[in-house]
Structure 1
Protein backbone atom coordinates (compact mmCIF):
# COMPACT_ATOMS: atom_id res chain seq x y z
CA UNK A 1 0.00 0.00 0.00
CA UNK A 2 2.75 2.45 0.97
CA UNK A 3 4.73 1.59 -2.17
CA UNK A 4 1.67 2.21 -4.33
CA UNK A 5 1.15 5.61 -2.72
CA UNK A 6 4.81 6.49 -3.24
CA UNK A 7 4.69 5.43 -6.89
CA UNK A 8 1.57 7.53 -7.39
CA UNK A 9 3.30 10.54 -5.83
CA UNK A 10 6.38 10.09 -8.01
CA UNK A 11 4.24 9.79 -11.12
CA UNK A 12 2.30 12.93 -10.26
CA UNK A 13 5.51 14.91 -9.69
CA UNK A 14 6.89 13.66 -13.01
CA UNK A 15 3.67 14.56 -14.81
CA UNK A 16 3.70 18.05 -13.31
CA UNK A 17 7.33 18.62 -14.26
CA UNK A 18 6.83 17.35 -17.80
CA UNK A 19 3.64 19.37 -18.28
CA UNK A 20 5.75 22.53 -18.09
CA UNK A 21 7.75 21.43 -21.13
CA UNK A 22 5.06 20.23 -23.50
CA UNK A 23 1.92 21.75 -24.96
CA UNK A 24 -1.43 20.16 -24.07
CA UNK A 25 -2.23 17.18 -26.28
CA UNK A 26 -5.25 15.09 -27.11
CA UNK A 27 -6.15 13.15 -23.95
CA UNK A 28 -6.63 9.92 -25.92
CA UNK A 29 -2.96 9.85 -26.96
CA UNK A 30 -0.35 8.41 -24.60
CA UNK A 31 1.78 11.11 -23.08
CA UNK A 32 5.55 10.93 -23.04
CA UNK A 33 5.69 10.47 -19.29
CA UNK A 34 3.15 7.64 -19.46
CA UNK A 35 5.35 5.88 -22.00
CA UNK A 36 8.43 6.39 -19.81
CA UNK A 37 6.63 5.14 -16.70
CA UNK A 38 5.36 2.08 -18.57
CA UNK A 39 8.93 1.40 -19.67
CA UNK A 40 10.12 1.59 -16.07
CA UNK A 41 7.40 -0.78 -14.93
CA UNK A 42 7.33 -3.27 -17.79
CA UNK A 43 10.44 -2.82 -19.95
CA UNK A 44 14.02 -4.00 -19.56
CA UNK A 45 14.55 -1.59 -16.68
CA UNK A 46 11.49 -2.93 -14.87
CA UNK A 47 12.80 -6.47 -15.14
CA UNK A 48 16.23 -5.41 -13.93
CA UNK A 49 14.67 -3.57 -10.98
CA UNK A 50 12.68 -6.67 -10.04
CA UNK A 51 15.88 -8.73 -9.97
CA UNK A 52 17.47 -6.41 -7.40
CA UNK A 53 17.43 -7.58 -3.80
CA UNK A 54 14.61 -6.04 -1.75
CA UNK A 55 17.11 -3.85 0.13
CA UNK A 56 18.63 -2.42 -3.06
CA UNK A 57 15.24 -2.03 -4.73
CA UNK A 58 13.88 -0.09 -1.72
CA UNK A 59 16.77 2.38 -1.94
CA UNK A 60 16.29 2.86 -5.69
CA UNK A 61 12.55 3.33 -5.16
CA UNK A 62 13.08 5.94 -2.46
CA UNK A 63 15.94 7.91 -4.01
CA UNK A 64 15.31 7.67 -7.75
CA UNK A 65 11.63 7.02 -8.33
CA UNK A 66 10.30 8.91 -5.30
CA UNK A 67 12.97 11.62 -5.46
CA UNK A 68 13.92 11.55 -1.79
CA UNK A 69 17.28 12.80 -0.57
CA UNK A 70 19.75 10.39 0.99
CA UNK A 71 18.80 11.63 4.44
CA UNK A 72 15.07 11.32 3.78
CA UNK A 73 15.51 7.81 2.39
CA UNK A 74 17.59 6.86 5.45
CA UNK A 75 14.82 7.98 7.81
CA UNK A 76 12.14 6.26 5.72
CA UNK A 77 14.04 2.98 5.51
CA UNK A 78 15.40 3.12 9.07
CA UNK A 79 19.04 2.79 8.02
CA UNK A 80 22.06 5.13 8.22
CA UNK A 81 22.66 7.57 5.32
CA UNK A 82 25.95 5.83 4.52
CA UNK A 83 24.09 2.57 4.02
CA UNK A 84 21.68 4.31 1.64
CA UNK A 85 24.65 5.57 -0.42
CA UNK A 86 26.31 2.15 -0.45
CA UNK A 87 23.13 0.35 -1.50
CA UNK A 88 22.44 2.96 -4.18
CA UNK A 89 25.95 2.46 -5.57
CA UNK A 90 25.52 -1.33 -5.57
CA UNK A 91 22.10 -1.07 -7.21
CA UNK A 92 23.42 1.23 -9.96
CA UNK A 93 26.32 -1.14 -10.59
CA UNK A 94 24.00 -4.16 -10.86
CA UNK A 95 21.53 -2.31 -13.10
CA UNK A 96 24.36 -1.11 -15.34
CA UNK A 97 25.67 -4.69 -15.72
CA UNK A 98 22.23 -6.07 -16.55
CA UNK A 99 21.26 -3.34 -19.00
CA UNK A 100 24.48 -3.17 -21.04
Structure 2
Protein backbone atom coordinates (compact mmCIF):
# COMPACT_ATOMS: atom_id res chain seq x y z
CA UNK A 1 0.00 0.00 0.00
CA UNK A 2 1.16 3.52 -0.70
CA UNK A 3 1.55 5.95 2.21
CA UNK A 4 -1.16 8.58 2.49
CA UNK A 5 0.86 11.08 4.55
CA UNK A 6 1.32 14.22 2.48
CA UNK A 7 1.39 16.73 5.30
CA UNK A 8 4.44 18.66 4.14
CA UNK A 9 3.11 18.89 0.61
CA UNK A 10 -0.29 20.04 1.82
CA UNK A 11 1.21 22.70 4.04
CA UNK A 12 3.98 24.03 1.86
CA UNK A 13 3.16 23.38 -1.76
CA UNK A 14 3.16 26.58 -3.79
CA UNK A 15 3.68 27.54 -7.42
CA UNK A 16 7.41 26.82 -7.20
CA UNK A 17 7.15 24.07 -4.60
CA UNK A 18 8.57 24.06 -1.09
CA UNK A 19 12.08 25.32 -0.42
CA UNK A 20 14.55 23.07 1.38
CA UNK A 21 14.32 25.38 4.40
CA UNK A 22 10.51 25.16 4.46
CA UNK A 23 10.64 21.37 4.31
CA UNK A 24 13.24 21.24 7.09
CA UNK A 25 11.16 23.55 9.32
CA UNK A 26 7.98 21.58 8.68
CA UNK A 27 9.81 18.33 9.40
CA UNK A 28 11.10 19.73 12.68
CA UNK A 29 7.63 20.97 13.71
CA UNK A 30 6.14 17.59 12.82
CA UNK A 31 8.76 15.71 14.85
CA UNK A 32 8.30 18.09 17.80
CA UNK A 33 4.56 17.41 17.71
CA UNK A 34 4.73 13.63 17.30
CA UNK A 35 7.54 12.99 19.80
CA UNK A 36 5.56 13.76 22.99
CA UNK A 37 2.57 11.65 21.84
CA UNK A 38 2.00 8.41 23.67
CA UNK A 39 3.37 5.29 21.97
CA UNK A 40 -0.23 4.16 21.37
CA UNK A 41 -1.12 7.34 19.46
CA UNK A 42 2.10 7.23 17.44
CA UNK A 43 1.55 3.57 16.55
CA UNK A 44 -2.02 4.17 15.37
CA UNK A 45 -0.95 7.21 13.34
CA UNK A 46 1.97 5.30 11.82
CA UNK A 47 -0.12 2.28 10.89
CA UNK A 48 -3.01 4.18 9.31
CA UNK A 49 -1.61 7.41 7.93
CA UNK A 50 2.00 6.55 7.12
CA UNK A 51 1.71 2.83 6.33
CA UNK A 52 -1.71 3.20 4.70
CA UNK A 53 -3.50 0.46 6.62
CA UNK A 54 -7.23 0.64 7.20
CA UNK A 55 -8.43 1.03 10.77
CA UNK A 56 -9.47 -2.62 10.69
CA UNK A 57 -6.02 -3.76 9.52
CA UNK A 58 -4.31 -1.52 12.07
CA UNK A 59 -6.53 -2.93 14.82
CA UNK A 60 -5.36 -6.45 14.04
CA UNK A 61 -1.73 -5.32 13.88
CA UNK A 62 -1.94 -3.40 17.15
CA UNK A 63 -4.16 -5.92 18.95
CA UNK A 64 -6.88 -3.43 19.86
CA UNK A 65 -10.48 -2.87 18.73
CA UNK A 66 -11.05 -0.93 15.50
CA UNK A 67 -12.84 1.85 17.39
CA UNK A 68 -9.77 2.31 19.58
CA UNK A 69 -7.59 2.77 16.50
CA UNK A 70 -10.00 5.35 15.07
CA UNK A 71 -10.09 7.24 18.36
CA UNK A 72 -6.31 7.26 18.67
CA UNK A 73 -5.87 8.45 15.09
CA UNK A 74 -8.40 11.25 15.57
CA UNK A 75 -6.68 12.30 18.80
CA UNK A 76 -3.25 12.30 17.14
CA UNK A 77 -4.56 14.21 14.10
CA UNK A 78 -6.14 16.79 16.40
CA UNK A 79 -2.83 17.28 18.18
CA UNK A 80 -1.08 17.70 14.83
CA UNK A 81 -3.65 20.22 13.58
CA UNK A 82 -3.33 22.32 16.73
CA UNK A 83 0.46 22.27 16.73
CA UNK A 84 0.90 22.96 13.03
CA UNK A 85 -1.82 25.62 12.67
- After superposing on structure 2, the runs of 4+ consecutive aligned residues of structure 1 that deviate more than 3 Å are none
Deviations 1:41-84 (A, max 9, x none): x4211221112111100000000010000000000000000000
Q: Is the helix fraction higher in 1 or 2?
A: 1
Number of the residue aligned with 2:68: 83
Number of the residue aligned with 1:64: 49
C-alpha RMSD of the superposition: 2.5
Question: What is the TM-score of this pair, normalised by structure 2?
Answer: 0.67
Question: What is the TM-score of this pair, normalised by structure 1?
Answer: 0.58
- Residue 38 of structure 2 is aligned to residue 50 of structure 1: no
Query: Residues of 2 paired with 1:70 and 1:44: CA distance?
Result: 26
- Superposed displacement of residue 92, structure 1: 0.8
Alignment size in residue pairs? 67
Higher Cα radius of gyration: 1
